[in-house]
Amino acid sequence: MAAASWLALGAALLAAWLGVAAIRRAALTTNAGRAFFTPGAHAPARWGLLLLAAAAALALAAPLVAPYAPTAQLDIVGLQNRPPSFAHPLGTDLYSRDVWSRLLYGARVSLAVGALGMVIAVTVGTAVGAAAGYWRGAVDAVLMRLVDVGLSVPRIFVLLVLAGLWERMPLGVLVLAIGLTSWFGTSRLVRAEVLAAREREFVQAARAMGAGPARIVLRHVLPNAAGPIFVTAALGTGVVMLLESGLSFLGIGVAAPLPSWGNMIADAKDSVRAAPWSVLAPGLAIGLVVTACAAVADGLRDALDPRRARRGAEQLAPFPASWDLSAPMHDPTADAPRSRA
Amino acid sequence: MAAWLVRRLVAALAILWTVATLTFVAIHVAPGDPFLPSAERPVDPAVVATLHRRFGLDRPLPEQYARYLAAVATGDLGVSFSQRRPVAAAIRDALPHTLLLAAAALLLDYVIGIAIGLVQAATAGRRLDEALTVVTLMIASLPAFWVALVLLLVFGGWLHWLPVAGAYDPALYDALPFAGRIADRLRHLALPAATLGILGAAATARYQRAALLEALGQEYVRTARAKGLDERRVLLRHAWRNALVPITALVGLALPFLLTGAVLVETVFAWPGMGRLAADAITLRDYPLVTGTAVTACAVVVLGSLVADLLLQAADPRVRVHG
């Protein structure tokens, strides 16, 4: 690796650190932000945020940081499955490509798919949940039955059917398909929040003043549901990334030669014994980023609901990150009767 | 109770109908034709037409849909293009393998997960608890297929302790005595089941910890402590029993996870189950097999969550439905 690459790496990490510092400054003006950045509390969440920022910075700066082109087969005879060295920090893969460079470029694809898929899922989930909660009645019944179907179908089979039918699924279609099969949990969550908020006095006041449904939902109801939505979004990004990696591993996600962390593992799986690094690196990258997403969601949840954090009991509530979004996004014991003061 | 059961069954059927319809729509909306000639596989147009006629693809869509629904309802999932036998037969061969894998994984998942949850609740707030919280979170965040590959590398590639492919040893199996066959199958089952079990256990442990801490905050626990019971007894006899209820409720939700994981893990370990069947069907563009596995997987999940609900009602009188 050339000195320029090391320099770019340092600069990218510094930029990530500065970015987090800027987020912190902005966040300190809000109550939840202050709670999130309180020293001592939510340490894993702040580490997670830093890690996500670093991953995003490295992804953006990939062309500068990566010492080689991600698809360049450097020397198919001399550099096949080489262990990590100074020139190749994470070794080379079966096709003599530099694993570190592919990891950096793969971060662009994996993070982008995760973020975009999550945005689609959260948008659709919020819209459906708000509609069901606001209008109730027949709209609610129809939408929630649809959600029931969505939650009880193992999503990967739906995606397998879709992906299998496209000769080669374009990346946009893949993101859309992932997003449109990932919103069911969010819609239930938002519906519950909207149901609770729509009876509050300020919503009645807004209605009495003649505000229409759109204004009431967007201006008065949804801001009150923003907390859980943010938590879902943070967690959802990780879940979508796991899903993408699984689909790419099966050869129906992100298509080669464009590197994603999932298809890097798929490419390297047959040479796992000869070149373990080419499998370990992208897998650990996925694991770290998904853990970071879950940790941030965890801290965000506590910061947004200080009472919950003080109770301590569920301070680190369960995070089924590798589960479907269909798993309960919040306290699974919520339905059980409780006698909490 | 009877009315509830009927409602649940109707809902289950509605779900299956929706799934069948969606798969049908997806197949006909998506571009691509299984019989269209490609560069590496030139086909005479007349042959294509014959194939279309034989598999009913030349009929109008509503008729194809009606035929499809009627066939699915009677358990006829069509004939697999690639295997040249009924889809139902292929699924009948594969499903037991997946159910065995899922059952073994679920067992590991709950035994390990509940044990970790108990340890964490007993040491809540201390170093061990905090460490386990981070560890379980990280494990739950790993891709299932990657964990499978790592286990394969370590236990199959480096240590040579366990076989890494198939459900049994094709060369030896027939020659083995009965006990040997069981042992052979268990050895083949070990790595795929461990992969899914460990991942599931990480999530279960987090749920179990939260449920236990919730239960430990209740009045009856305070009463038990006030009576002078030791902490072990309070945890195991009083809190744990109640904390098992929400965990039982999760069995239904664990099923989609297990099937999803099975698709990936079966691919890694060449386990001859539904997941690998589905993945193979995709690569071979075997439409009836793709839809058949999808509909069957959904049916398994719907049935499983129904059973889980019934179990939950048996376990917890508070959620019993009347009327």
pLDDT in tens, chain A (341 residues): 677 888 888 888 888 888 888 888 888 888 778 878 877 677 788 888 889 998 998 888 888 877 888 877 777 777 777 778 777 787 777 777 888 888 989 899 999 999 999 999 999 999 999 888 888 888 888 888 888 778 777 778 778 777 766 667 788 888 998 898 888 888 888 888 888 888 888 888 888 888 888 888 888 888 878 888 888 888 888 888 988 888 888 888 787 778 889 888 888 888 877 778 888 889 999 999 998 988 888 888 878 776 655 444 333 333 333 333 333 333 333 333 333 22
In a domain, A328, yes or no: no
The reply to whether residue A339 touches residue B218, judged by beta carbons under 8 angstroms, is: yes
* pLDDT tens-digit map of B237-279: 778 887 777 777 777 777 777 887 888 888 888 888 888 888 8
* pLDDT tens-digit map of B190-202: 889 999 999 888 8
| A287 contact residues in B (CB cutoff 8 A) | 138, 141-143, 146
Residue whose structure tokens are 């994981």: B261
The reply to whether residue A318 touches residue B209, judged by beta carbons under 8 angstroms, is: yes
The reply to whether residue A157 touches residue B297, judged by beta carbons under 8 angstroms, is: yes
| B305 contact residues in A (CB cutoff 8 A) | 152
Interface test mutation site (partner A, options B33, B132, B145, B250, max chain A beta carbons within 10 A): B145
The reply to whether residue A157 touches residue B219, judged by beta carbons under 8 angstroms, is: no
pLDDT band at B40 (very low <50, low <70, confident <90, very high): low
The reply to whether residue B257 touches residue A323, judged by beta carbons under 8 angstroms, is: yes
**CB-CB contact of A258 with A244 (8 Å):** no
Query: Which positions ≥6 away from A95 have C-beta within 8 Å?
Result: A73, A76, A80, A267
Strand (E) positions, chain A? none
The reply to whether residue A152 touches residue B302, judged by beta carbons under 8 angstroms, is: yes
Confidence at residue A335, expressed as pLDDT on a 0 to 100 scale: 34
Average pLDDT over residues B49-77: 78
| A285 contact residues in B (CB cutoff 8 A) | none
Contact status of A86 with chain B (Cβ, < 8 Å): no
Q: Which residues of B47-85 are buried (b: 16+ CB within 10 A; e: fewer)?
A: ebeebeeebebeeeeeebbeebeeebeeeebbbbbebee
Out of A250, A322, A332, whose CB is closest to B207? A332
| B255 contact residues in A (CB cutoff 8 A) | 154
Give the structural domain span for A284: 3-71+87-309
| A237 contact residues in B (CB cutoff 8 A) | none
Domain count, chain A: 1
Please report the ipTM that was assigned to this predicted complex.
0.80
* pLDDT tens-digit map of B10-28: 888 888 888 888 777 877 7
3-state DSSP assignment of residue A92: strand
SS3 string, chain B, reads CHHHHHHHHHHHHHHHHHHHHHHHHHHHHCCCCCCCCECCECCCHHHHHHHHHHCCCCCCHHHHHHHHHHHHHCCCCCECCCCCCEHHHHHHHHHHHHHHHHHHHHHHHHHHHHHHHHHHHHCCCCHHHHHHHHHHHHHHCCCHHHHHHHHHHHHHHHCCCCCCCCCCCCCCHHHCCHHHHHHHHHHHHHHHHHHHHHHHHHHHHHHHHHHHHHHHCCHHHHHHHHCCCCHHHHHHHHHHHHHHHHHHHCHHHHHHHHHHHHHHHHHHHCCCCHHHHHHHHHHCCCHHHHHHHHHHHHHHHHHHHHHHHHHHHHHCHHHCCCC
Give CA–CA dist B281/B292, Å, rounded: 10
Give CA–CA dist A324/B6, Å, rounded: 28
In a domain, A341, yes or no: no
3-state DSSP assignment of residue A98: strand
In a domain, A76, yes or no: no
The reply to whether residue A335 touches residue B319, judged by beta carbons under 8 angstroms, is: yes
In a domain, A257, yes or no: yes
Q: How many CB atoms lie within 10 A of CB B6?
A: 10
Give A98's strand partners: A92
Query: Which positions ≥6 away from B248 have C-beta within 8 Å?
Result: B308, B311, B312, B315, B316
Q: Is pLDDT above 50 for B176?
A: yes
The reply to whether residue A283 touches residue B214, judged by beta carbons under 8 angstroms, is: no
For the purposes of burial, counting CB atoms within 10 Å of the CB of A112, is it exposed (0-12), middle (13-18) or buried (19 or more)? middle
Give CA–CA dist B246/B211, Å, rounded: 7
Interface test mutation site (partner B, options A243, A249, A331, max chain B beta carbons within 10 A): A249
**CB-CB contact of B303 with B256 (8 Å):** no
The reply to whether residue B146 touches residue A287, judged by beta carbons under 8 angstroms, is: yes
In a domain, A242, yes or no: yes
* pLDDT tens-digit map of B210-245: 888 888 877 888 888 888 888 887 888 778 887 777
pLDDT band at B112 (very low <50, low <70, confident <90, very high): very high
Contact status of A287 with chain B (Cβ, < 8 Å): yes
Residue whose structure tokens are 């067992």: B107
* pLDDT tens-digit map of B152-161: 888 887 887 8
| B284 contact residues in A (CB cutoff 8 A) | none
pTM assigned to the model: 0.82
Query: Which CATH number do you get for residue A214?
Result: 1.10.3720.10
Q: Which backbone phi and psi does B320 adopt, to 5 degrees?
A: -65, 135
Out of A156, A265, A332, whose CB is closest to B249? A332
CA distance A152 to chain B (A): 6
In a domain, A330, yes or no: no
In a domain, A281, yes or no: yes
Q: Which backbone phi and psi does B284 adopt, to 5 degrees?
A: -90, 0
The reply to whether residue A313 touches residue B264, judged by beta carbons under 8 angstroms, is: no
Closest chain A residue to B317, measured at CA: A336
Interface test mutation site (partner A, options B7, B137, B250, max chain A beta carbons within 10 A): B137
In a domain, A59, yes or no: yes
CA distance A125 to chain B (A): 19
